[in-house]
Structure 1
Amino acid sequence: MLKNHIVYLFAFLILVVSPLSQASGQNAAPFGMELGVATLAQVRQEIGDSSPLEDEGTNKYTEGKMVSTDGRVLGVEGVQSVLFIFDKSEVLAGVIVTMPKDPVRIFKMLSTKYKVVSNKIDSFMNFGSARLEKGASVVEIDAPHLSFAMEVRYLTKSFLAAHNRIVQEEAAEKERRKASAL
């Protein structure tokens, strides 16, 4: 089990983190696809050649297309799924990687590539969250306490701003409906 765990972490480092250092851009580039630069066509060509991409509909926050793939086909052992999120112009706005929970090691790897904004990962209990940044992109690690899986989210700051704005609007609308019902 430990051997498999180490193998998937090493593969994650090679396929996700290493392309970041080779990317010529200023943003995070998971799987070599730079946020805010790569297009749907490029992802289909680069990722789709080795891993079938499934259409996941339209994203609520970016109003762009979403495609996903089974992480196993990307050659990263342990990655369960990868969701690519695009904006209306079909430019990559986010990548969500779901994998077995190991936030301490992933944070350690990613913190060598990105500026650490916050780190709330409990290294003893192996859960928590962290936020890192590079250029106009944000990397979030989310490892819930009673879960066996975690997410590493690569998002453009504009995606995050749209998400936060819509969440606030929905909360305000919910409060208005609640107040009018009373």
Structure 2
Amino acid sequence: MNKRWHLMLGVFVLLAGFSSAHASTTALGLTLGQTTLNQFTKTWPSAQHEGRSKWSEGDIYSIPTNELVLEGIKNNAVIFNKAGKVTAVVIDIDKSKFDQMHQMLAQKYSVQKHNVSVVGDKYARYENDNDVIELDAPHLSTEMTLTYSEKMFQEAYLKKSAEQLDKH
């Protein structure tokens, strides 16, 4: 091939990468809506079964924090749907990492809402196709919560939480 053909091919490959849809939403190496329970237990054999989710009706697991690469993780929950696929990943992490996490997430996902005050609560919401990523750092807490979830899971969570409030 001549140089002109190589240059055209290189430009095509570069443009194809930019025009493609967003990449799948992945947290802790788990892809929302794709990673199965079987794949998860093979990757994380020491994960602990924590019960069933009343929102997704699937299993909940936690990964020992000492096995996770990300520093400052206090707790985590990997939530599956009825079909046995990851529908949400919830991570409690040291609040001092908010700015670093926000910057990283804002580069990867579309920022939908952003409230970062010097004093008070800090919150950011990102979206990626049918997924929602939320970073929530309450003012008086030393931890923040990073949640990756499919929109279907979040809607079920909000609906069932509202129903529980109505009962009380």
TM-score, normalised to structure 2, is: 0.80
Structure 1, unpaired ranges of 5+: 1-23, 175-182
Identity rate, percent? 29
2:77–2:91 Cα contact (<8 Å) kept:
yes
Name segments (4+ residues, structure 1) moved above 3 Å.
Answer: 24-27
Alpha carbons of structure 1 residues 86 and 126: separation in structure 2 relative to 1, 3 Å: same
In the alignment, the residues of structure 2 paired with residue 126 and residue 71 of structure 1 have an alpha-carbon distance, to the nearest angstrom, of: 28
Q: Secondary structure at the match of 2:102?
A: helix
Count of matched residue positions in the alignment of Structure 1 and Structure 2: 147
The residue aligned with 1:120 is 115
Q: Pick from 21, 24, 28: which aligns with 1:27? A: 24
In the alignment, the residues of structure 1 paired with residue 147 and residue 129 of structure 2 have an alpha-carbon distance, to the nearest angstrom, of: 15
The residue aligned with 1:18 is none
The residue aligned with 1:134 is 128
Q: Pick from 102, 110, 129: which aligns with 2:105? A: 110
In the alignment, the residues of structure 2 paired with residue 172 and residue 137 of structure 1 have an alpha-carbon distance, to the nearest angstrom, of: 27
Alpha carbons of structure 1 residues 96 and 59: separation in structure 2 relative to 1, 3 Å: same
1:70-97, CA deviations, whole angstroms, 9 ceiling, x for partnerless residues? Answer: 2221232222222100011111010011
The residue aligned with 1:62 is 56
Aligned-pair distance for 1:140? 0.5
TM-score, normalised to structure 1, is: 0.75
In the alignment, the residues of structure 2 paired with residue 134 and residue 36 of structure 1 have an alpha-carbon distance, to the nearest angstrom, of: 13
The residue aligned with 1:43 is 40
The residue aligned with 1:144 is 138
In the alignment, the residues of structure 2 paired with residue 173 and residue 89 of structure 1 have an alpha-carbon distance, to the nearest angstrom, of: 29
1:131-177, CA deviations, whole angstroms, 9 ceiling, x for partnerless residues? Answer: 00101110000111111111100011000011111122223333xxx
Structure 2, unpaired ranges of 5+: 1-20
Aligned-pair distance for 1:26? 4.2
Write the letter of the residue equivalent to 1:31.
Answer: L
1:103–1:126 Cα contact (<8 Å) kept:
no
Q: How does 1:61-80 map to 2 (within 5 A)?
A: 61-80=55-74
Write the letter of the residue equivalent to 1:167.
Answer: S
The residue aligned with 1:3 is none
RMSD: 1.8
Q: Which is greater in Rg? A: 2
Aligned-pair distance for 1:127? 4.1
1:86 aligns with 2:80: yes
Write the letter of the residue equivalent to 1:153.
Answer: T
Q: Secondary structure at the match of 1:82?
A: strand
